[in-house]
Structure 1
Amino acid sequence: MKADITGVILAGGQSTRMAGKDKGLVMVNQIPLYRYVLDRLAPQVDTLLLNANRNIDIYRHSGLRVVSDTLPGFPGPLAGMLTGLQAATTQWVAFAPCDVPVFPADLVQRLWDGKRDAPAAFASGGGRDHPAFALLNRALIARLEAFLAQGERKVLLFFNRIGAERVIFPVKPPYFHNLNTPLDVLNWAKT
């Protein structure tokens, strides 16, 4: 890659489908879910941050810098992306959600290669988009602020408006599998 890249783990959601538990801290085989993402993303980036809106002190035990949404009320992954872009000191920022323990070990490199001249790129595979796995340029901060100020929250709508590149990944199970509910976690722990 030609640029330094900051990685951001998105762990700032409300986790409504996880019975309100902080998804990143849900234990999977005695390991907090966010640790799987940290271990997978850290080798792919130069610096790593964690976006969280609660349990800040627990997340700080990871040694990562923890940044909370600058917008109130858990407004979704785009707010976490905005916060990550604002906190990063590099021009490019890669994002990964805290609830997907397995994703490609070359995710960031492939997003970088696939972005071409676009200001952003996101992952797609298995016939589905995975927009929380994304690479964005900090030059998008003002456009993202304006988008959120209009009350918009849909990640793919924002990506369409800015001309983000969709990067297709061959999906090998269990890549990109979200753990959204307690049952998902239970089933995952059995594998």
Structure 2
Amino acid sequence: MLRDRFIAGGIFALGLAVVGGYGISQMATPVMAQAEDGPGPNLVIEVAGSTTGQIVIDMLPDVAPKHVEQITALAKEGAYDGVVFHRVIDGFMAQTGDVANGKAGGNLSMAGMGGSSRPDLPAEFSDLSFERGVVGMARSQSPNSANSQFFIMFAPGDFLNGQYTVVGRVISGMEVVDAIKKGDGGNGEVSDPDRMERVTVAE
């Protein structure tokens, strides 16, 4: 089976067996206090599709230096430009970043199964909690398989703590995140998904 870059097969920790127990579809969207901009670089995402706007993510190199270096390098190369939000689960998270298979206008049947030409990364787990607006790295069942895909939390997901690498937090544009088109597939797959039109890095 091809590896899904969030959970192997799309079911393990994020999958329906666990997610269902948290009542994802019934979660209310909590109010998020504006996070402060830290010393790390900012990832600036211009969203296009059914909604438009800008998301600014404060990256956390002191928490996950290898992952932040990889994401910012890919952004500077333009690798994320045009990549869709291929899996979006209402009340949970929006996932994107498959630079190999997730380009808008292409065949998206494999979106979520790929990464980049760069090597996979060893886990950089921390004690940071997956709160609303936190950005984490997607991976397969192996803890050391994160590559280019990442997800943004709509709501707290404490069951992910210590299992996925935290790389940043939204400091601006959470209303844009909330408006990203939600998936209608069984595991959050999105038909005609929104996309990251352009991704840049502000040092």
Structure 2 length-normalised TM:
0.29
Greater RCO, 1 or 2 (C-alpha within 8 Å, sep 6+): 2
Query: Which structure: greater helix fraction?
Result: 1
Structure 1 length-normalised TM:
0.30
